[in-house]
Amino acid sequence: MSAEQIASPTQIERPSGSAGSGASIAQRLLASPEGYLFAFIVLVWMFLAAKSTVFLTERNIGVLLSQVALIAVTGFGMTLLLIAREVDLSVGSMQAFVGVVAMQALNEWHYLVVGIVVAILLGVIVGTINAGLTLKLGITSFIVTLAMMQILRGAAYTSTNAAVQNEHKLSSFKRVFNGAAVEDPVRIPWPVVIMAIFFVIFSLVLAKTTFGRSLYALGSNPEAAALSGIHVWRLKTICFVVTSVMAGLSAFMLIARMNSGQNNAGFGFELQVIGAVLLGGASLAGGKGTILGTFLATLLLGSLNNGITLMGYNPNWQWAVTGIIILVAVFLDSIRRRYTQES
């Protein structure tokens, strides 16, 4: 064959990064799931601010964020778990179970710290059992925690007929949910502060530590992670325990808000949490998800629910709206990913 048929071996030019300097701020914003959610939230807030004079008041935003905190705090734990390719369906029943038990403990010993310790301890125990059954027996976490969800709900029902009241009117207690950590210049309620602290801790752990890096690797490719010396079961156990502990803390904030531990608390909570985490960019296939994404998704859903109430619609619409938003967001994200050639 003759040489002239051979193309010259010139290198193909590779434009340096298609989303580079030429891209507008908007394009860059929409290049990530977090950016998408942020844009979504801005739209919703603009709409609600225009429609309701109450929405942007300090008080309403405080209430909104406090409610968001309940879901987000558990959601942060769940984000780790979903990155590790596992899931925990028992966090909803934890709200009832921990609530009932912690309130009984409070009534017995009258110290706020006792209640918190009980909530954390129960989280550690439940999380360890979830991890043990999943990892040692090789049952999928979906099934293990589904069973755990029923068991804990049953335990909550058996221990009390309806609710355990705050008998001793522990005044420090109500402040956990309703009190303000900061009054000046703006009032910041305790749950928001708690959420913010965990937000920072979890974000840093995921982004900056060997644990976080190993977790993403383990979620994307467990085999490769194990062969690189990552202790898969140890990491997963930590994720299970952390998720349950965070659920316990959410439960504690919830009983503070209700001022009682109720056996029917947290119905559907697990799906709100998991829905938010998925909306925030995580995947049931593991390896993906960020704390910022989870927070923004929780904030978006919380804002919509707040808006529905403010505008006087039937609050039961909240359920359907949450579902629709998740579908819409996932749909938009799939388009975004196709556009950016992300797998």
Partner 1 sequence: MEAVTQNNDARSPLLEMRGIHKEFPGVIALDSVDFALLPGEVHALIGENGAGKSTMIKIISGLYHADRGEMLVDGEVVAFRGPGDAIARRIKVVYQELDLVPGLSVAENVFLGAYPKKGAGRVDWGALHRNTAQLLDELGLAIDPETPVGELRVAEQQLVEIARALSQHAQIVVMDEPTSALSTDEVNRLFTFIRRLQERGVGIIYVTHKLDEIYRIADRVTVVRDGKHVVTTEVAGTSPHDLVTWMVGRELKDLFPKSVVARGPVLLKATDVSGSGIDHFDLTVHAGEIVGLFGLLGAGINTVGRVLFGASERASGSVELDGQQIKPNSPSDAMAKGMGLLTENRKSDGLVLPMSVRDNMTLASLSQFANLSWLNSRKETKAASTFVDRLSVRTPSLRQRVQLLSGGNQQKVLMARWLMRDPKMLILAEPTRGIDVGSKAEIYRLMDEMAQRGLGLVFMSTEIPEILGIADRILVMREGRIVAEFDRGEATQAKLVEAAAVALETGVAA
Residues that bind partner 1 (CB under 8 A): 1, 5-7, 9-19, 208-211, 213-214, 216-217, 220-221, 223-231, 287-288, 340-341, 343
> Rounded to the nearest 5 degrees, what angle is found at the Cα of 92, between the Cα atoms of 90 and 93?
70
Q: Residue 206 CB, nearest distance to partner 1 (Å)?
A: 11
Closer residue to partner 1, CB minimum distance, 12 or 25? 12
Closer residue to partner 1, CB minimum distance, 37 or 218? 218
Q: Which residues contact 323 (CB under 8 A, 6 or more apart)?
A: 275
Q: Which residues contact 308 (CB under 8 A, 6 or more apart)?
A: 315, 317, 318, 321
Q: Residue 28 CB, nearest distance to partner 1 (Å)?
A: 14
Q: Residue 254 CB, nearest distance to partner 1 (Å)?
A: 32
Distance CA 181, CA 192 (A): 9
Rounded to the nearest angstrom, the gap between the alpha carbon of residue 259 and the centroid of all alpha carbons in its chain is: 24
Q: Residue 278 CB, nearest distance to partner 1 (Å)?
A: 17
Q: Residue 117 CB, nearest distance to partner 1 (Å)?
A: 26
Distance CA 287, CA 264 (A): 33
Residue type, 128: T
Closer residue to partner 1, CB minimum distance, 178 or 220? 220
Q: Which residues contact 98 (CB under 8 A, 6 or more apart)?
A: 118, 119, 122, 123, 247, 248, 251, 252
Q: Residue 281 CB, nearest distance to partner 1 (Å)?
A: 12
Query: Using an 8 Å Cβ cutoff, are 78 and 274 in contact?
Result: yes
Q: Residue 27 CB, nearest distance to partner 1 (Å)?
A: 12
Query: Using an 8 Å Cβ cutoff, are 211 and 205 in contact?
Result: yes
Closer residue to partner 1, CB minimum distance, 171 or 209? 209
Closer residue to partner 1, CB minimum distance, 227 or 320? 227
Closer residue to partner 1, CB minimum distance, 86 or 270? 86
Q: Residue 201 CB, nearest distance to partner 1 (Å)?
A: 13
Structure tokens at 322: 């949450």
Distance CA 116, CA 256 (A): 11
Query: Using an 8 Å Cβ cutoff, are 88 and 244 in contact?
Result: yes
Distance CA 5, CA 21 (A): 39
Residue type, 125: I
Preceding amide of 191 cis, omega within 30: no
State the alpha helices, DSSP H only, in 259-316: 269-279, 291-310
Closer residue to partner 1, CB minimum distance, 9 or 185? 9
Distance CA 282, CA 85 (A): 10
Closer residue to partner 1, CB minimum distance, 195 or 291? 291
Q: Residue 85 CB, nearest distance to partner 1 (Å)?
A: 13
Closer residue to partner 1, CB minimum distance, 18 or 21? 18
Task: Please give the helix or strand (H or E) that residue 180 lies within, else none.
Answer: strand 180-182
